[in-house]
Amino acid sequence: MARRPSREQPAQGDPRRSLPGVDRLAGALLDGDATLGWAAAVAARAELEAAREAIAGGGPAPAFESLEAAAAARARALVAGRPRRVINATGIVVHTNLGRAPLAAGALDAAGRAAGYSDLEFDLRTGQRGNRLAGTADKLQLLTGAEAAFAVNNNAAALLLAVNTLAAGREVLVSRGELVEIGGSFRIPEILGAAGVRLVEVGTTNRTHPEDYARAVGPETGLILKVHRSNFEQRGFVREVDLGELVALGHKTGLPVLEDVGSGLLLDWREHGWPEESHIAGRLRIGADVVCFSGDKLLGGPQAGLLLGRVDAIAAMRRNPLARAFRLDKLTLAILDWTFSALLDGRAETEIPALRMLREAPERVRARAERLARAFDREAAAAGVASTPRVEACEALVGGGSLPEFRIASWAMVLESTAPSVDRLAARLREAPVPVIARVDRGALWLDARTLADDELDAVATAVASALKAPGG
Ligand SMILES: *Cc1c(COP(=O)(O)O)cnc(C)c1O
């Protein structure tokens, strides 16, 4: 909690004395825009508090006009609500900071249908209590060939649930090369600690051999865990034990093998050059007892954690009290179910936005980048700004902390600018009515057409033209 502001009166001559009162600043905001309502006073108070802190840190007292402008922006953001829609021109398809996979229109309709009363946990045939995941889990099994399936809130919860169910109070073997931090404070050793198991580190950072695992197995061992590195790659003198080798050891020792795949793909894109290790059905075929992965990465669906594997292992997870703590809400469940149906119907690559973006042919992306450049030329001419963008080949990324080395051929509209600077331009784009998030690279502004939708091009063109025109360097 923030400390309460001091009620002490600043001394004579203290620049804090020149700050306006909350009522005066809030009143000015409401005179400018009466629709700000309750947000005017909240924003005024926050802005004055920030100004007092800046002054206490040795800064000058801000002018009334700049306080008013900053407070007005703060109030407008409050009224607009969060999360705010943005336009993703970064070329990072599953952008973690921008909400990962964008949801399909059909998925939102499904969520709308589930928003009121539904048969969420009601069996319409018997009139008795029903299972929240009935039907949805069946679709996931159909898609992957898994014996059983379960779903929770996110993949961190899925991993915690699986490890706790399979090995509570016992030892879990993990390669030192896989003790990763995924970002957003997800670290394997800490998750294992929270799951109530003891981590046994196997091998070295760069090299782990099958014998290392075999030697680490003891009477206390409960589980062999493999974690996809997701956000980095190792090169040089490296040796990783692959899933097949771990499965063989599991069979020999009677230990279950769990793989955290991270970003799992339910479609088989291996023939298009996509990595083997993302393909979920393939991981099960190799013989993992359980695999887990995220719903909002390469699956293209809602935030969720999917668990697939042996019937007994999955049934034990369902019975674990943590499963209740991690359970999916009805809107997520509806979106997940819609996503699985789209995959089963063969509509996924046209209807699920992330999958469509990842697979769109480069020529089509190039055509969109060219349409963006033409729209920009029109806007720039109308605004009287002289700027000649290029359309250039570039590389888009999957994102979501997955497949860091996997590049997708893409095209971007590229702008160079000195006044305003490219960084200033990118900052102004973030202040557009619908903020545009661009990439700054090699001294230029890149607007990658792979993550842009056709109906966003005019808004991007307008935002770039007005960012170039705005006064100030
Ligand atoms: C992304 C990721 C996670 C975390 O998944 P969330 O759905 O964000 O909780 C866990 N493990 C791996 C390997 C990942 O890539």
Average pLDDT score over residue span 122-141: 96
pLDDT (0 to 100) of residue 421: 94
CA of 405 to the centre of ligand 1 (A): 17
Q: Do you find a cis peptide bond into 420, omega within 30 degrees of 0?
A: yes
Q: Whole-angstrom Cα distance, residue 237 to residue 305?
A: 33
pLDDT at 2 over 80: no
pLDDT at 406 over 70: yes
* Among protein residues, the one whose CA lies closest to atom 13 of ligand 1: 262
CATH label, 105-348, candidates 3.90.1150.10, 3.30.365.10, 2.60.40.2470, 3.40.640.10: 3.40.640.10
CA of 377 to the centre of ligand 1 (A): 42
CATH label, 87-97+358-469, candidates 3.40.605.10, 3.90.1150.180, 3.30.360.10, 3.40.50.970: 3.90.1150.180
Query: Are 140 and 341 in contact, with CB atoms under 8 Å apart?
Result: no
Average pLDDT score over residue span 5-31: 84
pLDDT (0 to 100) of residue 7: 55
Average pLDDT score over residue span 66-94: 94
- C-alpha distances (whole Å) from 462 to each of 85, 300, 440, 444, 450 are 17, 29, 19, 18, 19
pLDDT (0 to 100) of residue 231: 73
The token pair that represents 92 in the structure block: 């990072």
Residues 6+ apart with CB under 8 A from 277: 228, 243, 261, 283
Mean pLDDT, the chain, whole residue set: 94
Instruction: Please give the number of the atom of ligand 1 that sits closest to the Cα of 294.
Output: 7
CA of 402 to the centre of ligand 1 (A): 9
pLDDT at 3 over 70: no
pLDDT at 327 over 60: yes
Query: Are 302 and 155 in contact, with CB atoms under 8 Å apart?
Result: no
DSSP assigned state of 386: -
Task: Give ranges for CATH 3.40.640.10 in the chain.
Answer: 105-348
156 lines ligand 1 (CB under 6 A): yes
Average pLDDT score over residue span 396-400: 90
CA of 183 to the centre of ligand 1 (A): 9
Q: Whole-angstrom Cα distance, residue 73 to residue 20?
A: 18
- Out of 186, 232, 297, mutate this one to test ligand 1's pocket (max ligand atoms within 8 Å of CB): namely 186
Average pLDDT score over residue span 442-454: 97
Tens digits of residue pLDDT in 270-325 = 999 998 999 999 999 999 999 999 999 999 999 999 999 999 999 999 999 999 99
SS3 content of the chain, % helix, strand, coil (to 5): 45, 20, 35
pLDDT (0 to 100) of residue 230: 73
Tens digits of residue pLDDT in 355-379 = 999 999 999 999 999 999 999 999 9
pLDDT at 32 over 50: yes
Could you give the percent of the chain with pLDDT greater than 70? 97
Average pLDDT score over residue span 121-149: 97
332 lines ligand 1 (CB under 6 A): no
Closest CA to 275 of 287, 289, 288, 261: 261
pLDDT (0 to 100) of residue 4: 57
pTM over 0.85, yes/no: yes
pLDDT (0 to 100) of residue 1: 47
Average pLDDT score over residue span 76-102: 95
Residues in the chain: 473
146 lines ligand 1 (CB under 6 A): no
pLDDT (0 to 100) of residue 324: 97
pLDDT (0 to 100) of residue 6: 53
Task: Give ranges for CATH 3.90.1150.180 in the chain.
Answer: 87-97+358-469
Average pLDDT score over residue span 146-151: 98
186 lines ligand 1 (CB under 6 A): yes
Tens digits of residue pLDDT in 198-234 = 999 999 989 999 999 999 999 999 999 999 987 778 8
Instruction: Please give the number of the atom of ligand 1 that sits closest to the Cα of 260.
Output: 13
* Among protein residues, the one whose CA lies closest to atom 6 of ligand 1: 155
List the strands of the sheet with 257-262, edge to edge.
Answer: 148-152, 305-309, 290-294, 257-262, 221-227, 171-175, 198-202
DSSP assigned state of 82: S
305 lines ligand 1 (CB under 6 A): yes
Q: Whole-angstrom Cα distance, residue 199 to residue 332?
A: 32
230 lines ligand 1 (CB under 6 A): yes
pLDDT (0 to 100) of residue 419: 87
260 lines ligand 1 (CB under 6 A): yes
263 lines ligand 1 (CB under 6 A): yes
